[in-house]
Copies of this chain bind each other. A is one copy, B any other.
């Protein structure tokens, strides 16, 4: 049995990321404590952590309010992810992949190949791709073997829509979703190829370019806000400009 505070933290973060609270909304301790079946103390602890993560902000008059995210903030965070993952890819390439690392990444990519093999993308195939994508990015960071880099990427990924797979659902509503997955997956292939050949600069450039699709998805989501809102309730956290 885990502690109350970690349970509350996870559940509260989930609620926030599900768009349960509107931007600027006051987050009162007592209702949340009752809702998560805990006392106010672990809730306050969770707030302190969530403030560090940038999901809530402390109100000058006390207490915490839900943050709003501008489009620029998300876009900037994705750009930062590109630079950080670019560093990770470069480090992996420069340090060289062991046989085991290479295998693990290749196995991961093969899962993506299979998910995209069918001419029409099923829901399951899509879910498989998302999982593969998350795994690939995690492995990349892990193999870079740089704790500060891992921390920076983790912090950055806590922002809504900044993480690797966060913007994937945005174009799934359109017919050409599969096409973009093919393109980004080709970048995965190229990154592995570059890292295996110790081409650090190429691997880095690919990782940086890789996030441009995410930025494009974000742009797309803003234009079709109505459609994406349905499948991504957290969109309401994005303030107008």
Number of interface residues of A (CB under 8 A): 26
Across the A-B interface, the 9 shortest Cβ-Cβ residue pairs: A77-B148, A52-B52, A76-B146, A80-B148, A48-B48, A152-B152, A83-B87, A76-B148, A80-B149
Contacts of A152 on B, CB cut-off 8 Å? Answer: 80, 84, 152, 155-156
A98 CB, min distance to chain B CBs, angstroms: 18
**Is A49 interfacial (CB-CB < 8 Å)?**
yes
A189 to chain B, nearest CB (A): 25
Task: Tell me which of B76, B146, B155 contacts A147 (CB under 8 A).
Answer: B76
A76-B146, A79-B148, A80-B152 are known contacts; what are 18 more A-B pairs with Cβ within 8 Å? A41-B41, A45-B48, A48-B48, A49-B49, A49-B52, A54-B151, A73-B147, A73-B148, A77-B147, A79-B146, A80-B84, A80-B148, A83-B83, A84-B152, A148-B162, A151-B156, A152-B156, A155-B155
Question: Is A190 positioned at the interface, with any CB of B under 8 Å from its CB?
Answer: no
